[in-house]
Amino acid sequence: MCGGLYHDMDYARLELLKLLAEHERIRMRVGADYSDGDAIAAADFLVTYTCDVIPQPDQQEALERFLAQGGRWLALHGTNSVLRYVKGRGWEAPRIAPGFMAMLGSQFLAHPPIVPYRVEVSDPTHPLVAGIDAFDADDELYLSEYHGERHDLLHTHFTGEAPGFVDHTWPMASSDRHSVLYLHSHGGGEVLYCTLGHCRGKYDMRPMMAESPVERGSWKLPVYHELLRRSIRWAARLSS
């Protein structure tokens, strides 16, 4: 599933389809939102790359059924985002989909300006990240609100300001650690969430601006493609 706002969905969709096509056993159905509840409930696994796409109540029930059956869901980048622009305050992340965010294990609130940041390995023994070294990502650093238990696989550290967002101040609290890749169990199934993967094309911010810089984020990194390959094998329960 690939759709929504403010990102180059065509680019992300194509790159994900190429990675999925490396496995001849995998057959895909592609959608832009959660409207095909029957297909979701019947799927062996889900991959989502969306931004500001929220399921309706009946669609959320289909996702709950999918997870209740032990389904695996690879959720990427903006899947956990709800964005509303408030004049005079900036971008707000309204808490209007608590059940959906509980399934995902987090809700995006803000990100600081895009500059390279260090991504560190949280659990080097886990197969999804074993052998991966710490790396620098020139990507959106997601500052999120977390729901339920999660098993961090990659993380980063940040304190400071996220200009342009209502939740703009991120001081040192109990921790300055923010998840980049984590596992989250829900209803018998499991979600693997990766915040990396920002991409934007020249015209993806219309009508707010006529043209924007082309951004490819972590898609430029071989390590990101390796993480995606491992994540797809995990979701599809493929041993190799």
Burial class (CB in 10 A: 0-12, 13-18, 19+), 42: middle
Q: Would you say the pTM of this structure is higher than 0.85?
A: yes
Identify whether the C-beta of residue 121 lies closer than 8 Å to the C-beta of residue 134.
yes
- Return the pLDDT at 240: 61
- pLDDT per residue over 107-154, tens digit each? 999 999 999 999 999 999 999 999 999 999 999 999 999 999 999 999
- Average pLDDT score over residue span 202-215: 95
Cβ-based neighbours of 126, under 8 Å, separated by 6 or more: 151, 153
> Can you give the CATH number for the domain in which 209 is found?
3.40.50.880
pLDDT digits (tens, 9 = 90+) for 41-92: 889 999 999 999 999 999 999 999 999 999 999 999 999 999 999 999 999 9
pLDDT band at 105 (very low <50, low <70, confident <90, very high): very high
Domain count, the chain: 1
Q: CA–CA distance from 47 to each of 4, 106, 171, 201, 208 (Å)?
A: 14, 16, 33, 21, 29
What are the b/e assignments for 167-197, b being 16+ CB within 10 Å? bbebeeeeeeebbbbbbbebbebbbbbbbbb
Record the tokens describing residue 202, joined without a space.
């020249």
User: Cβ contacts of residue 21 below 8 Å, gap of 6+?
Assistant: none
Mean pLDDT of 19-41: 95
- Give residue 26's identity as a one-letter amino acid code: I
How many CA atoms are closer than 13 Å to the CA of 217, on its beta-carbon side?
21
User: What is the Cα–Cα distance from 20 to 141, expressed in whole angstroms?
Assistant: 26
Residue 239 — very low, low, confident or very high, per pLDDT cuts 50/70/90? confident
Q: Which residues span the domain enclosing 196? A: 2-236
